[in-house]
């Protein structure tokens, strides 16, 4: 079987560099290339050196359309507006897309979903196996515990993260809401400041912490009368997300168009 050609957009970012290294080190695939936005100081840099692997003879480009034209799948951990453009390129060229970008608004999410009608797109706020198992457990716990158990989602990330709550926190909130049979937007409580009054029954609360170089800590707390159940996942390295992204990219081989999630990839 021919190697699967995988490209990386945003290849000079923290996740981009990890994605490059994992692709190069996996015998099932071939690095098709990588891109950065126009004006990036990394344009023209050797992709292997970016990934800490030594020279590969492939350099960072600025044209995503060219990259999509020579790839079977592309991995995207960038920004919401860029991910929309990349999903449209993927659909136009029949190339699979693995999107780990978070913070998309409703219109941007709708655009990605529209592209998924034309090509295979795996979209996930978090691509680690552990987090996706956690989401399943959260859904089951929320279904088993009634509204006497208040649900709070607590997350902490590094100081450079720009969106809050994290995409993973929202993923876990949606899992809890699904277990309760409610819409998250109807019961979500994102902020508390000042004289807030008593907690509303049935709310799903979110608390956000930022600092240091934390890769990602998430806890879902079910606080009931006389007891608490806490489900927690802690990522000690971002490589768990890159490994999941590569697994998702390889999984897209031969898949029909559709918007998929990591539960599909992992068979959960």
> E-assigned strands of the chain?
4-9, 29-35, 73-76, 96-99, 120-123, 150-157, 188-189, 204-210, 216-224, 227-235, 258-260
Q: Which of 3, 70, 158, 161 is catalytic?
A: 161
- What Rg value do the Cα atoms of the chain yield, rounded? 19
Contact 148, 224 (CB under 8 A): yes
Q: Which of 3, 93, 157, 218 is catalytic?
A: 157
- DSSP classification of residue 68: H
157 counts as catalytic: yes
Q: In sequence order, which residues have a C-beta less than 8 Å from that of residue 217 and are 6 or more positions away?
A: 155, 156, 157, 232, 233, 234, 235
Helix (H, G, I), strand (E, B) or coil at 236: coil
What whole-number distance in Å separates Cα of residue 12 and Cα of residue 249? Answer: 19
Locate tokens 């997350």: which residue? 155
Cis amide leading into 70 (omega within 30): no
Helix (H, G, I), strand (E, B) or coil at 189: strand
Q: Which residue numbers are catalytic?
A: 157, 161
């Amino acid at each position: 079987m021919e190697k699967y050609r995988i490209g990386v957009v945003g290849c000079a970012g923290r996740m981009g560099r990890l994605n490059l290294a994992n692709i190069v080190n996996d015998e099932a695939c071939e690095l098709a290339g990588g891109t950065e936005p126009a004006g990036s100081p990394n344009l023209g840099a050797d992709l292997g050196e970016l990934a800490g692997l030594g020279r590969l003879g492939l350099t960072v480009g600025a044209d995503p359309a060219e990259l999509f034209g020579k790839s079977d799948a592309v991995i995207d951990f960038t920004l919401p507006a860029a991910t929309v453009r990349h999903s449209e390129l993927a659909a136009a060229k029949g190339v699979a897309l693995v999107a780990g970008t978070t913070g998309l608004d409703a219109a941007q999410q709708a655009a990605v979903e529209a592209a998924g009608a034309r090509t295979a797109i795996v979209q996930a706020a978090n691509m680690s196996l552990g987090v996706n198992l956690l989401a399943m457990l959260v859904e089951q716990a929320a279904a088993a515990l009634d509204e006497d158990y208040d649900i709070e989602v607590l997350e902490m990330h590094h100081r450079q993260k720009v969106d809050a709550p994290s995409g993973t926190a929202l993923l876990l909130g949606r899992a809890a809401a699904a277990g309760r049979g409610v819409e998250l937007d109807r019961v979500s409580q994102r902020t508390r400041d000042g004289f807030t009054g008593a907690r509303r029954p049935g709310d799903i609360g979110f608390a956000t912490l930022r600092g240091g170089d934390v890769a990602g800590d998430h806890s879902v707390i079910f606080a009931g009368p006389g007891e608490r159940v806490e489900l927690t996942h802690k990522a000690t390295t971002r490589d768990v997300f890159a490994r999941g992204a590569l697994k998702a990219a390889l999984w897209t081989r031969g898949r029909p168009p559709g918007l998929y999630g990591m539960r599909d990839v992992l068979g959960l």
